[in-house]
Structure 1
Amino acid sequence: MVSYDFTGQSAIVTGGARGIGLAVAKRLSDAGASVSLWDADAAKLAEVAGFFPEDRIHTATIDVTDDAAIDRAAAEVEREFGRIDVLVASAGITGPNTSTWEYPVSDWRRVIDINLTGVFLCDRAVVPYMRAKDRGRIINIASIAGKEGNPNAPAYSASKAGVIGLTKSLGKELAATPITVNCITPAAVKTDIFDQMTPEFIEFMLSKIPMGRFGLVEEIANLVAWLASEDASFSTGAVFDCSGGRATY
């Protein structure tokens, strides 16, 4: 494993209590970063906080659709750690698996609100702090579904396509600064989010991956660590696949 040194830096990870978010937070913490875990599940946050050094962990129970709560949490991280160097926007849901014409409007709005608007709100909240320090890394977790569109997952696919577009837009806006903005488009990674999917949809996703297996959260975390490092200083507004060969562009 490539080693990075994030000593003295702080990172916010949304959806940080489980899955990809938790793996990312551990990877950054192991490299010396102070980490703020944001998640809607207060009990799970309290459980996983013990995995981190006591003097380098902060948690916030956050609904990523609540802009005022996000702004308060970002300010709290700044007070706690003195800076915000990295944001990894990982919080998301799948929504139901059904055809577009049968998709409940309420579920559509909820998926878009969490997966896309939530990323926008978190990105928006941290940029002023990064600009003040003239350095930052924003890494949005999208999905291969945002590039290809998965059948029977219209809201999820659309929301992740939106994350890709948001990443490219913000990356260009900040391109003249030392702040980079990139996104990762994983194929299916086996986490608790599978509990929101039908077995048939899970098998469909597996059938699309040439390597014949699901991704590991650690593999996504390793890519995040590189994007958060100084080694990735010339990449911004970019999309990085981690898809076991599924991506075709």
Structure 2
Amino acid sequence: MTVAPEIAMEAAHPYFPLGVPLPAYIANEFNGPQLVGVFATGASVILGAAFLIINRVRPTLAKTETLTALWFVLCGFIHFFFEGYFAYNYHQMPSRMDIFGQLWKEYALSDSRYLTQDSFVVTMEAVTALFWGPLSFLCAGFIVTSHPMRYPLQLIISLGQFYGDVLYYATCTFTAMVDKIHFCRPEDFYYWAYYVLCNAFWIVIPGMLMISSVKHTGRAFAQVQKAEKANKGK
């Protein structure tokens, strides 16, 4: 019995579009729930350790400020280490079998561009790792120490995250609507849980932080202008 070429290519790996070439592909050893559990456990350990450090350094820090600092700590680890791993190993992702490699291959079920050396994804992740990763750690420190540059830096990072995520959604949507090429498997779970939900955090939270940054910056300038007018009137 002869197997149709497209069926054979589909069976070689689970990624879409069907038959997309993935040289040296090796299937994951861990399944989806196991990998999600590993990621959640790692994030919990990072947040727990960061919370203890923040609470020791600045026990009187407001809860909202603590949560914001924790957000940037988590962003720093994800951007610099996890996304940095991808940017460094993008050319061999289909064959990577360490835990980060398997996590990326699991996520790629919602976006196979992460396994095909897609120019936008690679450059976007490289910029994210090199800039928003280290700056996120710095911003967390600024929040804890009440540094005057906290809000300008928070605005820059959040705008970069927001803009990158918008472009990420836009390029994938454009290809699906115009070129009729879908990078996500047809199951709703991969689309809504991985592609939509996992990336929506970097739309919603940075959006809120940008609004907060603009408000605080506006108040600061208003106070400076008020003080300058008062001095001139003397």
Instruction: Please say which structure displays the higher CA radius of gyration.
Output: 2
TM-score of the aligned structures, taking structure 1 as reference length: 0.27
TM-score of the aligned structures, taking structure 2 as reference length: 0.28
Which has the larger helix fraction? 2
Which has the larger strand fraction? 1
